[in-house]
Amino acid sequence: MTPFAVHRIDNPTAALIVLIVEVLLFSYFLVVNAVYLGTALVAFVRLPRLVRLLRADPLRDLTPASLPGVSVLVPAYNEERHILRTVESLLNQDYPNFEVIVVDDGSTDATVDVLIERYGLALSSEIHPIAIPAVPVRATYRSSSERRFRILVKDNGGKGDALNAGINVAGNRLIFACDGDSVYTKDALKKMVEPFVDDSKTVGVGSSIGVSNDCLLDYDPIVRKRLSKNWLVRFQVLDYLNAFLSSRVGWARCNALTIVSGASGLWRKDVLIEAGGFRTDTKWEDLEMTIRVHHMLRKKRRAYRIRYTPFSICWTDVPDRVTSLWNQRVGWHRHVSECMSLHRRLLFSRYAGVVGWVMLPYLMLAEWLSPLVVLFGLLFGLVAAYFGFLGYFSQVVLFALVLALGVLTSCCALLLDELTFDTYPLPDALRLLLCTFFVVLGFRPLVTLANLAGFWRWATRAPIGGHRDIVGPGSPPYDPLRS
């Protein structure tokens, strides 16, 4: 039996074409999985050791007053249900020097009202410098009781624009970009700032994100971590463990972290300003900013590091319905497409190093083009079956291999979590283990379809959608394609 699906083809040209296509598809499959398992291997070697060492450190809880100041930016659009929880968790930080700035991005619900009521905020007349153009701030509210907290109210311009408005008023040299619907552990800022303190070349830090659906939250550490009963949420728990534990630890090790998540990303303010601030014309802003900073600093040949802390300092609810998951993943894939297009010149350029020669090609193959490859593979299989080229036994074996690799990758992530953070108790770990089979059978096909839709929306230049439709008059940010 050949390793591929060729059964019997009398026409030598057709046989050659089928063989080439199958070799290409199989190589793609092998390369993508091999790189993934490679990053997982790095994580296996490095992460448990690192986490044990950090936990054993008797000086881990020191919080000297000399730590650098942080401005926490919380862009909020219609977050009346979550915003209080988010702000409480941020104001509760065990950190000596920080401010929290909520930027209301033209909410049409009571986001601002609930904050005004809770903190007794009053209008304040402030003039803000403009380092990055953004939709003008209409009003600023300050609290007399909580001096570290203020709200900026502006017209809608998208998350990137809200962050830019926040950067303009931020008083500290570090910017912590958050989401208005997540909660943060008490040591979040301390853990995020540590890489800056340890290494002066650090310009950005990303963190792991935990899934908080059905967890008991009480502003400060998650009171009880437990697995949701919703299977869609469970699949995403595995997906998050895969991304944050197996993959990012490996990429960060070689200074090629693909993304500093928008829900918990710490950046040096001067680098954000130098990069021109967050883009307002893309579906999301975090992946683009991370690649842009890589692009800018590599092009300028400056020594820098984008670090990653594997601790889940941010906990967020993931979609628990198929429609909301679909919308989220369509948006994510559209953003990946936008980034690949915007930063195509970083690919294989002389100055790009590991980012342009390994990380971006992998992102292109494993993320951006993956739905197209899957679609092509399926169509090819259908056509081959129609003409009677398929060896059905080979197809069954191929399917079994895909299933086994899917289970293997999920198990890698789950085992890593058990060896390091032990997030879920034994019964939940067993439930997640059971999920590993159904991830391949149900979740991944759904996500692949959503990715295909995202690719299509990008290719057809469909409107960005949601509140991001209204784009502010911000100037174009640093464009590596033009400079």
Partner 1 sequence: MVWTTIAVALAAFVLAIGIIATSVLNLARKRSAFVVTQRWRSIFEGESLPDSVPLIRRSQVATVLHVWNDCYVAGARPQLVRAARAVNFEALALDLVRRRREDERLIGLFALGTMRSPAVVPVAIKLAAGGPALLELVAYRALALVDEGMVLPFVQKIAENDEWNVAKVEFVCVELGARKLSRALNHVVTNASGAQLERLRPFLRFCLPQSTKA
Which residue ranges make up the site for partner 1 (CB under 8 A)?
1, 3-4, 49, 52-59, 61-64, 66-67, 194, 197-200, 394, 397-398, 400-401, 404-405, 407-408, 411-412, 414-415, 418-419, 422, 425-426, 429-430, 433, 436
φ, ψ at 4 (rounded to 5°): -115, -175
Q: How far is the CB of 175 from partner 1 (least distance, A)?
A: 21
Closest separation in Å from C-beta 121 to partner 1: 33
Report yes or no: 296 and 275 within 8 Å, Cβ to Cβ: yes
Q: Which is nearer to partner 1, 179 or 194 (CB)?
A: 194
Residue 52 or 224: which CB sits closer to partner 1? 52
CB of 98 to partner 1, least distance (A): 16
For the chain, how big is the Rg over CA atoms in Å?
23
CB of 142 to partner 1, least distance (A): 31
**Which of residues 273 and 433 has its CB atom nearest to partner 1 in the complex?**
433
Residue 246, judged by CB atoms within 10 A of its CB (0-12, 13-18, 19+), counts as buried
Find out whether 76 and 83 touch, Cβ atoms under 8 Å: yes
Tokens of 116: 């005004």
CB 467 within 8 A of CB 158: yes
Judged by beta carbon, residue 177 or residue 412, the one nearer partner 1 is 412
Query: Which of 266, 414 has the CB closer to partner 1?
Result: 414
Shortest Å, Cβ 33 to partner 1: 9
Tokens read off for 39: 């990053």
User: Across the beta sheet with 182-184, what order do the strands follow?
Assistant: 121-124, 137-143, 149-154, 98-105, 70-76, 174-178, 264-268, 202-211, 305-316, 182-184
Q: How far is the CB of 50 from partner 1 (least distance, A)?
A: 8
Nearer to partner 1, 84 or 405 (CB): 405
In whole angstroms, the minimum distance from the beta carbon of 197 to partner 1 comes to 6
Q: Of 139 and 397, which CB lies nearer to partner 1 in the complex structure? A: 397
Directed axis angle between helix 286-299 and helix 322-342, to 10°? 20
Rounded to a whole number of angstroms, the minimum distance from the CB of residue 208 to partner 1 is: 18
* β-sheet bridge partners, residue 416: none
Shortest Cβ 67–partner 1 spacing (Å): 7
Please, which residue, 194 or 338, has the CB nearer to partner 1? 194
Shortest distance, CB of residue 320 to partner 1, whole angstroms? Answer: 25
Mention every residue, 6+ apart, whose C-beta is less than 8 A from residue 163: 73, 75, 103, 177, 277, 278, 285
In whole angstroms, what is the distance from residue 121 CA to residue 153 CA?
13
When the beta carbons of 200 and 483 are compared against partner 1, the nearer one is: 200
Whichever of 305 and 329 has its CB closer to partner 1, that residue is 305
